[in-house]
Amino acid sequence: MEMARHLPVSTLAGQLDETDTRLWRFISHYVDEARGLEDHTGVEAIGVDGTSRKGRNCITVVAGLVEHDVTDVTPGRDSTTVERFAGDFMDHDGVPGRVRLVTCGISRGFQKDIREHLPHVRRIIDKFHVARHANEAALSDLRLETKRGLTRQRLKTARACRMREVLQGICMDSRPPGHGSGYTACARG
Mean of pLDDT values over 113-130: 76
Q: For the chain, list the domains and their CATH numbers.
A: 40-125 (3.30.420.10), 143-188 (no CATH)
The pLDDT score that the predictor gives to residue 25 is 92
Mean of pLDDT values over 113-140: 76
Using DSSP, state whether 127 is helix, strand or coil.
Answer: helix
Please check the confidence at residue 185 and state whether its pLDDT lies above 50: no
Per-residue confidence at 29, pLDDT binned at 50, 70, 90?
Answer: very high
Mean of pLDDT values over 36-58: 81
The pLDDT score that the predictor gives to residue 139 is 79
The pLDDT score that the predictor gives to residue 177 is 58
pTM above threshold 0.85: no
The pLDDT score that the predictor gives to residue 176 is 57
Sheet holding 58-64, edge to edge: 70-75, 58-64, 45-52, 101-103, 123-125
Using DSSP, state whether 24 is helix, strand or coil.
Answer: helix
The pLDDT score that the predictor gives to residue 53 is 76
